[in-house]
Amino acid sequence: MQEYGSQSMAAPLKRVLMRRASSAMRRADPAEWHYGPKFDPTRAAAEHYGLVDLVAKSGAAIEFLPDDDDGLADSVFTHDPSLMTDHGAVILSMGKALRGPEPALHEAAYRRLGIPILGRVEAPGTVEGGDCVWIDRTTLAIGRGVRTNQEGIQQVANLLGPKGIRVYGFDLPFWQGEEACLHLMSVISPLADDLALVHSPLLPAPFWQMLKARGIRLVKGDPDEFRDSFGLSLNVLPTAPREVIAVAGFPKTKAAMEAAGCTVATFEATALCISCEGGPTCLTRPIWRE
């Protein structure tokens, strides 16, 4: 039986790729990686165990990237260097130069796991997984911003078009500048096929129109919590429709999701997520959702 494939953001999570923070982040220089003052590698490693526990409790099988001491601190954010489809993995190309070696780690893992490689995004194209959002099984939205360029989007469209998948690019704002991490997934977290948590002020307007036209209900995250968390209050991982994992400490955003029928599990992540600009979606690359 095929144990890979994912063209949905919220179908039950069966298998996921992760990398532990204990080695990867151990020697990270916060200034070099654009991490905040509360970054602490020991604490980040402990917080990562908290997320691993919640993902494992959901029933998903976790495949870990090898725990090599390669200094690739951001490699814990496994969402970004590859994209999964029902036809195999697409190996992406990073917009953040320090993350350049990461797609090769993912390709090696997929080969080890026997998962086919559908294709690759090649330089000068760049696409990061955090910019890719499945709207439905045949529609992929990609944010065009500091991490993902038009050349990369075109390459993904060329790979997926023959599989019956339409790819749409949406411009992202510059917001906090080119050093900061603003992906399309920074302003939306799908919670179910028909429900998404959003920070609407930063949503590309045509993307908002597409979501509305498809009848996707939008839950607004609390704007103060979004600001105070550098956007991480909005970064929520569904392990099944309306069953989600979020960063602890944002009661208003959590209550808004609960009011929309979601069950929300939280974990402490000040050192790992708030400081390093990546939350539970970014720390997981779904390999199989069904």
Ligand X SMILES: NC(=O)NCCC[C@H](N)C(=O)O
- Residue 64 C-beta: closest distance to ligand X, Å: 18
- Residue 83 C-beta: closest distance to ligand X, Å: 11
Angle, CA 277 vertex, CA 272 and CA 279 arms, to 5° = 60
Q: Applying CB under 6 A, which residues contact ligand X? A: 74, 77, 79-80, 96, 99, 130, 181, 183, 185-186, 276-278, 282
Instruction: Compute, in degrees rounded to 10, the torsion defined by CA atoms 220, 224, 228, 232.
Output: 0
Beta bridge partners, 133, equal 141
Residue placing its CB nearer to ligand X in the complex, 3 or 175: 175
Would you say 145 and 162 are in contact if contact means Cβ atoms under 8 Å apart? no
| Largest Cα–Cα separation, the chain | 47
Helix (H, G, I), strand (E, B) or coil at 266: strand
- Residue 201 C-beta: closest distance to ligand X, Å: 18
Residue placing its CB nearer to ligand X in the complex, 22 or 258: 22
Residue placing its CB nearer to ligand X in the complex, 78 or 259: 78
Residue placing its CB nearer to ligand X in the complex, 176 or 209: 176
Residue placing its CB nearer to ligand X in the complex, 30 or 158: 30
Residue placing its CB nearer to ligand X in the complex, 96 or 144: 96
CA 28 – CA 241 distance, rounded (Å): 35
Is 40 buried (19+), middle (13-18) or exposed (0-12) by CB count in 10 A?
middle
Residue nearest to ligand X (CB): 130
Residue placing its CB nearer to ligand X in the complex, 7 or 281: 281
Q: Which of 289, 282, 190 is nearest to 244 (CA)?
A: 190
- Residue 256 C-beta: closest distance to ligand X, Å: 20
- Residue 223 C-beta: closest distance to ligand X, Å: 19
Would you say 16 and 285 are in contact if contact means Cβ atoms under 8 Å apart? yes
Residue placing its CB nearer to ligand X in the complex, 138 or 176: 176
Q: Which of 78, 46, 8 is nearest to 282 (CA)?
A: 78
**CB count, 10 Å around CB of 236?**
29
- Residue 35 C-beta: closest distance to ligand X, Å: 7
Helix (H, G, I), strand (E, B) or coil at 153: helix
- Residue 231 C-beta: closest distance to ligand X, Å: 9
- Residue 2 C-beta: closest distance to ligand X, Å: 26
Which residues 6+ apart lie within 8 Å of 112 measured at CB?
none
Dihedrals phi, psi of 106, to nearest 5 degrees:
-70, -40
